[in-house]
Chain A
Amino acid sequence: DQQVKQNSPSLSVQEGRISILNCDYTNSMFDYFLWYKKYPAEGPTFLISISSIKDKNEDGRFTVFLNKSAKHLSLHIVPSQPGDSAVYFCAARLTETSGSRLTFGEGTQLTVNP
């Protein structure tokens, strides 16, 4: 049962344009959502997060939007840069009482073309 899904395995955008990465979830008990960037043969690097009580969080070029009613979140990167090319994972955390485990989506390979 895949509780966190990233339906697009890949996304290609031009440098300078906006990249929008999407993520859907099914478990309403998730209370915190995170986005990670991962290069091959490396561990994920934390990018940005959002609490379930918010609908938007912005950090520089990265903005995460959360739509709780739709159980959907998205990561916007603008402007996109070639160095942003990587696999992006969204992750969701169950409540504290569940040990703060993370459930990951399958990842989306982002390619930013110069």
Chain B
Amino acid sequence: GAVVSQHPSRVICKSGTSVKIECRSLDFQATTMFWYRQFPKQSLMLMATSNEGSKATYEQGVEKDKFLINHASLTLSTLTVTSAHPEDSSFYICSARGPPGQGWGAFFGQGTRLTVV
């Protein structure tokens, strides 16, 4: 199946700094990628939909100035958590819509565990 690679898998940063998370589709072009956040023992919450070459669409309650999304190419989307605070600590996961012919199952990256200290 299609492969989505997310980097880094784990990051610890100081409060007030910014962190960038990358999501790459390795063997297919992804015009649409999704960014999710998961709190412990909770569901995956969609944060935003990232479309190549256009502005991301953010879900209600998600601060677009805090969570900057860039989808500059068909294989790469980035999420930057700006001025991170401890409450931003979470598990962030990206997914990409699969290529034609591989069914419609969004393919997920490995996730990034962000800890803000």
Partner-B contacts on A (CB < 8 A): 9, 32, 34, 36, 41-46, 49, 89, 93, 99-107
Within 8 A of A (CB), among B13-71: 32, 34, 36, 41-46, 49, 57
Main secondary structure of the interface of B (DSSP, over half): strand
Which residues of B have CB within 8 Å of A102?
A: 34, 46, 95, 106
Q: How large is the interface on B (under 10, 10 to 19, 20 to 34, 35 or more residues)?
A: 20 to 34
Contact of A104 among B44, B104, B110 (CB under 8 A): B44
Identify 20 new A-B residue pairs, CB closer than 8 A, beyond the known A49-B104, A99-B32.
Answer: A32-B104, A41-B9, A41-B113, A43-B93, A43-B109, A43-B111, A45-B108, A46-B105, A46-B106, A89-B44, A100-B104, A100-B106, A102-B34, A102-B46, A102-B95, A103-B46, A104-B44, A104-B45, A106-B43, A107-B43
Is B43 a contact partner of A104 (Cβ separation < 8 A)?
Answer: yes
Residue of B nearest to A109 (CB): B41
